[in-house]
Amino acid sequence: MKHKRILITGGAGFIGSHLAEFFLEQNCQVTIVDNLSTGAWANIQHLEQNENFSAVISCVTDERLMDDLVRNSDIVYHLASAVGVKLIMEKPIDTIDTIFHTTDMAIKKCSRYRKPFVFTSTSEVYGKLDKDVFSEDSDVLLGCAEKHRWAYAATKAVDEFLILAHHMQTNLPVYIARLFNTVGPRQTGQYGMVLPNFVTRALNNQPIRVFGNGQQTRCFCSVYDVVKALAKFPQSKNAIGKVINIGSQQEISIKALAEKVVEKTQSKSTIELVPYSEVFGPGFDDILKRVPDLTRAKNFLEWSPKCSLDDIIEQVIKDKQDG
């Protein structure tokens, strides 16, 4: 592997911890920095015994720290971010502040020391766009600024513009992965993540709450597939300065997902349809359909997802049973 010293911001989070694990298996030196605001020490505790792993519990906005960490790395994976619709709705100021300022700090240090920069963005940036399949060159259509739900998408979109501006002005090698509903072991339902929430409730025979009419559809991609995709970005010259969708095209309605979870867990849980207003307050917007165009991922990264939705659900069930 070309880059042997890997820095992962948000490395104690769900995706970050799996990415750290992946690179350690490739005999890389991995440093993670995380303030544990949404990440968890339990996600990386098993990595402590590896001599190639080190963890720094601090904020990415610490300039002196980041200067030192980036200078001594070969590449930076920037995953530190606010996560989950629930957290975003409850703390929009923290959402905007965390997302923008951590990215600004990380990209500035990478620009100073000429380190490649890989950024995990989100399919949320497509907003309310009404298309069967979302391609990277699609327009962005966000909702009203008075609806806090769009704070996450808007700030991630600004991050993308900032990162691509660094590439345009300074020729910094940057890569942007737009992730579509990554799921798997270690993901918590605490911040509104749908699959771990459904599985936890099903295993406890509690009612499963589905928001709206449940007909909104999503495509869920295994974290194991996602980290393999992220590792491929810096290996592709064609991916430099590009936005690339990473996700699955196996579409399912949220109500059908709940039914599948109940079936696979042999749960006695009932499925309850809950109005958005009851959970998020009046005026909440949701996206009815979100399917990625994976043409760039296939052409630039030679990547496509391998895990089926059934495999993913079973992985999450096992994780929650073992946990």
Q: Which of 6-15, 147-156, 162-171 has the lowest mean pLDDT?
A: 147-156
| Domain formed by 5-183+222-248+291-305, architecture | 3-Layer(aba) Sandwich (3.40)
Tens of pLDDT along 289-307? 999 999 999 999 999 999 9
Tens of pLDDT along 82-113? 887 777 778 889 889 999 999 999 999 999 99
Assess whether pLDDT exceeds 70 at residue 283.
no
Assess whether pLDDT exceeds 80 at residue 192.
no
Q: Which residues contact 2 (CB under 8 A, 6 or more apart)?
A: 74, 234, 235
Tens of pLDDT along 30-51? 999 999 998 999 999 999 999 9
The model carries a pTM of 0.95
The per-residue pLDDT for 88 is 77
pLDDT band, very low/low/confident/very high, at 191 (cuts 50, 70, 90) = low
Give the Cα separation of 178 and 171 in Å (integer).
Answer: 21
Question: What does DSSP assign to residue 136?
Answer: T
Q: Report whether 11 contacts 20 (CB < 8 A).
A: yes
For residue 295, the cross-strand partners are none
Instruction: List the catalytic residues.
Output: 152
At how many degrees (to 10) do helices 223-232 and 14-25 cross?
Answer: 60
Question: What does DSSP assign to residue 207?
Answer: P
Helix (H) or strand (E) holding 221: strand 221-222
Mean pLDDT of 50-77: 98
pLDDT band, very low/low/confident/very high, at 123 (cuts 50, 70, 90) = very high
Mean pLDDT of 53-60: 98
What is the domain partition of the chain in residue ranges? 5-183+222-248+291-305
pLDDT band, very low/low/confident/very high, at 63 (cuts 50, 70, 90) = very high
The per-residue pLDDT for 80 is 96
